[in-house]
Amino acid sequence: MQPSTHQALLLLADISGFTQFMKSHARAADHAMHVVVELLRAVISAAGPPLKLAEVEGDAAFFYAICPEGGGASAEVAAIKKQVRNFFRSFHHTLDRLCAAYPCVRDARELKLKVIIHAGAVALEHIHGFDKLFGVDVILAHRLLKNSVPAPEYVLLTESAHNWLGDFFQIKPERQIEYCEGIGVVDTVVFFPPAHSARPVTAPVAGCWGSPAKRRPAALNATRPRLDLQRSPWRSGAFMPPRPVSFRPLPVRRRARPAATVWIAQLQTKWRRDDPIPRGSAGRQRLSCGPAP
């Protein structure tokens, strides 16, 4: 039975920096692997129709979408472009959460996401419950994972994919020529996602003791309201900030006056020094009769 041939959109979402990240966390391999698995889950969860998951290939997720034959794919195109933007948002939102939960892998923020998109003819075969894709265009999409783009995070489209999907992120793309081994020269279009589209929306949080406000994901705002600088409780007088700690020196404790016995002992010592008692019988007579007049 011959496999069915279709025009399809091929999409690869790959984690950049995966190999170096795993090598640098050999002692915390369990946490490092958990971070990568959660990032892949976040990307896969952000996908939906018309994209279908073909397979998970190590640190990459392979999706495809069958192109409609009769045209009129504007709804599918809009859905795919929205899902690609959600890939980056979900990826970085999950990455921020994992870095806060696992301090030993905080340098996981160096991990980035790159997306490769190509459109071409594929042969679709159903094997043991899985849809397996075959064809030169499938090989081309995977070869483009190794490219000359000087950035760890981007969206790379071939000319055929760009003609179908159009531009991303409302920015002007950069055209680049890639050479794929066994295939030849491939014209590509590269989009670099802006920071605000990759990172989750954050809201300011009031700091303590006058410290500057911190940033946190907007998804956490359900537990604490957004701080409005124009209608701040500090201005309305709802409550007063805590008083600063006083740094006045502690009072010095004065020494108590000496006891009366001390003065008596000092007088006796002075009297003995001024009028010494002679030794022998003269001294005993002196003590019995008192000091000489």
The domain total for the chain is 2
**Distance separating alpha carbons of residues 165 and 173, to the nearest angstrom:** 13
On whether both 98 and 216 belong to a single domain, the answer is no
pLDDT digits (tens, 9 = 90+) for 41-80: 999 999 999 999 999 988 899 999 988 775 557 888 899 9
| DSSP-assigned states of every residue in 14-60 | EEETHHHHHHHTSTTHHHHHHHHHHHHHHHHHT--TT-EEEEEETTE
On whether both 44 and 174 belong to a single domain, the answer is yes
On whether both 161 and 211 belong to a single domain, the answer is no
Mean pLDDT of 172-181: 88
Distances (CA, A) of 25 to 77, 105, 143: 39, 8, 28
User: Residues 6 or more apart from 84 whose CB is under 8 A from it?
Assistant: 11, 115, 117, 155, 168
**Distance separating alpha carbons of residues 16 and 72, to the nearest angstrom:** 35
Number of neighbouring beta carbons within 10 Å of residue 132: 15
Average pLDDT, the chain: 75
On whether both 105 and 227 belong to a single domain, the answer is no
Range of the domain at 187: 4-198
256 or 51, higher pLDDT: 51
Q: Is the pTM of this model over 0.75?
A: no
Predicted confidence band at 101 (pLDDT cuts at 50, 70, 90)? confident
On whether both 161 and 223 belong to a single domain, the answer is no
pLDDT at 231: 45
Examine the pLDDT at 90 and tell me if it is beyond 80: yes
On whether both 54 and 189 belong to a single domain, the answer is yes
pLDDT at 41: 93
**Distance separating alpha carbons of residues 3 and 127, to the nearest angstrom:** 11
